[in-house]
Amino acid sequence: MTTFDLAPLWRSTVGFDRLFDLLEDSAEWAGGNYPPYNIERAGDDSYRISLALAGFSPDEVSVVAEQNVLTVEGRKTEKGMHQYLYQGISARPFRRQFNLAEYVQVKGASFEDGVLKIDLVREVPETMRPRQIPINAVNDNKRLEHTQTA
């Protein structure tokens, strides 16, 4: 199984480490490695969770977003009488939970080719974003403003 190394992301971001820790730790509490999933960064403040759900249809899967927890559950509805010679496609019920960091919201979900994709966005309120503070010079009664360079 391939592991997803988040170390490069920790080095290049500030303030997201809690998000990555929570997403990484959620696998330990989910009770195993089924269904397999990927977490990817789609942009500066956007992420995507992809779950491989072969054999499931969209109506057999539910996605619920509560405060800081995203829960994906699946349960097969058909219990037909099949005589398998080999059954390699798992159809067992599952429940996987992802802990979300503050200000991370679920923006949507899509199901295509047996893969459930859940889009997440980190939206920090305007009052929480950094702002430029003007500095007043005491001696000359001048206002100094520093410009920020990228």
Here the CATH number for the domain that contains residue 48 is 2.60.40.790
For the chain, the first-to-last Cα distance in angstroms comes to 39
pLDDT of residue 111: 95
- Does any domain span residue 65? yes
Domain count, the chain: 1
pLDDT of residue 30: 47
Yes or no: say if 119 and 46 are a contact pair by the CB < 8 Å rule: yes
- Does any domain span residue 5? no
Domain coverage including residue 122: 33-128
Of 120, 119, 73, 74, the C-alpha closest to 97 is 73
- Does any domain span residue 140? no
- Does any domain span residue 133? no
pLDDT of residue 113: 92
Helix (H, G, I), strand (E, B) or coil at 71: strand
Question: How many CB atoms are located within 10 Å of the residue 17 CB?
Answer: 13
- Does any domain span residue 24? no
pLDDT of residue 150: 54
- Does any domain span residue 17? no
- Does any domain span residue 61? yes
- Does any domain span residue 4? no
pLDDT of residue 55: 86
| pLDDT in single tens digits along all 150 residues of the chain | 556 665 665 555 555 556 666 666 655 554 568 899 999 998 888 999 999 998 899 999 999 999 889 999 999 877 777 788 888 887 789 999 998 888 899 999 999 999 999 999 988 887 777 888 888 877 755 555 666 655
User: Could you tell me the pTM of the whole model?
Assistant: 0.64
